[in-house]
Chain A
Amino acid sequence: MTQRKLRTSLTTLGVVIGITAIIGLASLGEGFRSGIKERMQQGFELDVLVVIPGSFTAGIGEFEPQDVSSVRNVTGVNLVAPLITTPKTKIYNNKSERLNALTVSAVNFSEITQMLPERLTPIEGEIPSQGENDTIVLGYKACFLNETTPLVHVGDEVTMQIENPSLSLPINKTLRVAAILGKSGTSGITNFDYWAFIPTSTAIQLMGGREAYNIILAKVSDPEQSEQVAKAIEEGFDNPYSISILVPIAFMRQVDRILNFTQIFLVAIASVSLLVAGIGIMNVMTISVMERTREIGILKAIGTKSRTVLVMFLAEAVLIGGVGGLIGVFMGYGLSFGLAYTLSSFMQPQHDRVFKTPEAQRIAINPVFSFQWTIIAFVFAIIVCIIFGLYPARKAAKLDPVEALRYE
């Protein structure tokens, strides 16, 4: 009797461990997922589509002004900002030191600040409002040599040098620094820290009055609808193949899918321990049926139906599964919080690093209590117990009463 109690408790412990592992990993995975999702939402402009002529690899072609208005007219697009990137452009300060501006882009300042308000926050000066010609807005790293040494200040004049393949001499243009932006970090589009922005009008003037754009940014009203909007934009062009559209949310969905897969994989591994527990149940119940053969014989002799005997033993299995599952669910959440705490302390960023960009912030994994996973794990525990309990229970039900009564 005491021995049987011990045996049953140990079997239940098997189920507890199985469910603990499943719930622990599932809720940790869920937490990991939502943590990464949150970070990606911060780091990516999920609602900004990037439209490029040609393809990303080829990167050829230009947009005419009517292309811009065609994008603007697509339903679901509530803001459009066309960009002109000027290739082979160098910027020097008044001491002829070259600024680290990898990309010089001509924009409409008010459009671009509306488009990416969180990216473009000046730490010095102000982003000029509509149409201030011959000004320049510099990204953080385009302006600073290092943490403490700026190459230019607001109000300084810089020289923009554009190499023109058709002319032997480069074009020089003097611009006034209107604003220096704070660190923006990497976004889905690019790292604006290395960018310099000039007004569209200046660029058009430099191109000899020709208005042609290289990139169109389009803000969608509902990021979930991004793919549909992208399709509508494509259809606005005569040849949809002539443009490429980067849809940040599709990328995030892909990452989410990968994380989801990883989570299921982890849970699948954890499930193996539950299967082992199931075999334990089968073992213990088979022994129990053997030990209780005589009892089963008595029950049958007094008129208990085989089905009732079956149900009795299955009920025992379900009880083990239910109790083990319940304890396991609680312990699983306990485990996930413990693991999350331990993992988080490993993931603390080093504080002595030079770059304190937002992505260096501590990644916090908060395990997520998932009602769905709780139910799945609990039901899984019971189902496993029923499956593995079925064999011994059937064995008990099929016992021949005469043989069973004779059993010593």
Chain B
Amino acid sequence: MKALLEVHSVKKAYRIGKVLVPALRGVSFDAREGEFLTIFGPSGSGKSTLLHLIGGLDRPDEGEILVDGFNILKLSDDELAQLRLTKIGFVFQFFNLLPRLTALRNVELPLTVAGVPEEEALDRAKEMLKLVGLEARMNHRPSELSGGEQQRVAMARALINNPKIVLADEPTGNLDTKMGWEIVQLMKKLNEEKRQTFVAVTHDPYIAETADRLIHLKDGLIEGIKEAPRRNKQRS
């Protein structure tokens, strides 16, 4: 299968005060289309940095990152924004929904940014909320939704523009076990239905169990990559 994501010897350091702190010290891997990839590692291992780089929120110091053939390092700020809008979906640990907008409007937002006409955008957002099982709650604001519900809204928002790749940063990190499990199930379902590539940074064993491959990151370097046959595939 074609590699949708290619990461070649990526290095990234952050300046904290006068000290240059390396976050990634040469990381290489790739992800195929429709693959569910998990990046595992202790805090400070550079997982979030890696995810931000893949998502085009930041640029690597060295190395190359290709998302669906586009080199992150060579794109302008506007082109990067366009890439995030059309090819990448983000799910965050803290949901990051806009507090003043309803669930429906939050999901619709990327379509509005992309310039999709209002009526079509609303229809698609409703459809997407139905898919994540929230059609009954779509006119509620984030503060009126539970953590699990908020993360579902975030998931719907990440998927609304039909991205090639969905990046999840500790998607269950802020949820209780039951809700976390539901979110993992939802991710799995979407990954299978839509054949989108998922890259999740996590501590969560549920996600690890679900993933096709597990990348273990430590101190900015890959310690190992583990192929894991998906349980649900075995079941079916």
A residues adjacent to B (C-beta < 8 A): 1, 294-295, 297-308, 400-402, 405
A residues near B78, Cβ cutoff 8 Å: 305-307
| Residue from A301, A303, A308, A402 having most chain B Cβ neighbours under 10 A | A303
State how many residues of chain B have any CB contact under 8 Å with chain A.
25
B113–A308 CB distance below 8 A: yes
**Chain B residue, CB-CB nearest to A305:** B81
> Roughly how many angstroms separate A305 CA and B81 CA in the complex, as a whole number?
6
- Among the listed B77, B85, B100, which residue makes an inter-chain contact with A302, where contact means beta carbons less than 8 Å apart? B85
A301–B96 CB distance below 8 A: yes
B157–A401 CB distance below 8 A: no
- Among the listed A303, A307, A400, A405, which residue makes an inter-chain contact with B84, where contact means beta carbons less than 8 Å apart? A303
> Roughly how many angstroms separate A294 CA and B92 CA in the complex, as a whole number?
12
**Chain A residue, CB-CB nearest to B48:** A402
A402–B58 CB distance below 8 A: yes
B98–A304 CB distance below 8 A: no
A303–B96 CB distance below 8 A: no
Which residues of chain B from 158 to 174 have any CB-CB distance to chain A below 8 Å in the complex? 161
Given contacts A303-B86, A401-B57, contact A298 B52 (CB under 8 A): no
Q: Is B180 on the interface with A (CB-CB < 8 A)?
A: no
- Which DSSP category, helix, strand, loop or mixed, fits chain B's interface? helix
Tell me the number of A-to-B contacts counted with CB atoms below 8 Å. Answer: 57
> Roughly how many angstroms separate A307 CA and B82 CA in the complex, as a whole number?
12
B residues near A300, Cβ cutoff 8 Å: 57, 81, 84
> Roughly how many angstroms separate A299 CA and B114 CA in the complex, as a whole number?
12
Given contacts A401-B57, A405-B92, contact A303 B113 (CB under 8 A): yes
- Among the listed B57, B58, B81, B86, which residue makes an inter-chain contact with A306, where contact means beta carbons less than 8 Å apart? B81
B77–A306 CB distance below 8 A: yes
Minimum CB–CB distance from B87 to chain A (whole Å) comes to: 9
A residues near B198, Cβ cutoff 8 Å: none
A402–B52 CB distance below 8 A: yes
Sample of 11 A–B contacts (CB below 8 Å): A1-B100, A294-B96, A295-B98, A300-B84, A302-B84, A303-B82, A303-B84, A303-B113, A304-B85, A305-B77, A306-B78
| Bitwise interface map of B from 113 to 143 toward A, beta carbon under 8 Å scored 1, else 0 | 1100000000000000000000000000000
Which 7 pairs from chain A and chain B are nearest by CB? A303-B85, A303-B84, A305-B81, A401-B57, A298-B96, A302-B110, A402-B57
B residues near A303, Cβ cutoff 8 Å: 81-86, 88, 110, 113-114, 161
Q: Is B148 on the interface with A (CB-CB < 8 A)?
A: no
> Roughly how many angstroms separate A74 CA and B236 CA in the complex, as a whole number?
113
Q: Is B90 on the interface with A (CB-CB < 8 A)?
A: yes
| Bitwise interface map of B from 65 to 92 toward A, beta carbon under 8 Å scored 1, else 0 | 0000000000001100111111010101
> Roughly how many angstroms separate A18 CA and B114 CA in the complex, as a whole number?
39
**Chain B residue, CB-CB nearest to A398:** B77
> Roughly how many angstroms separate A357 CA and B52 CA in the complex, as a whole number?
86
**Chain A residue, CB-CB nearest to B157:** A302
A residues near B52, Cβ cutoff 8 Å: 402
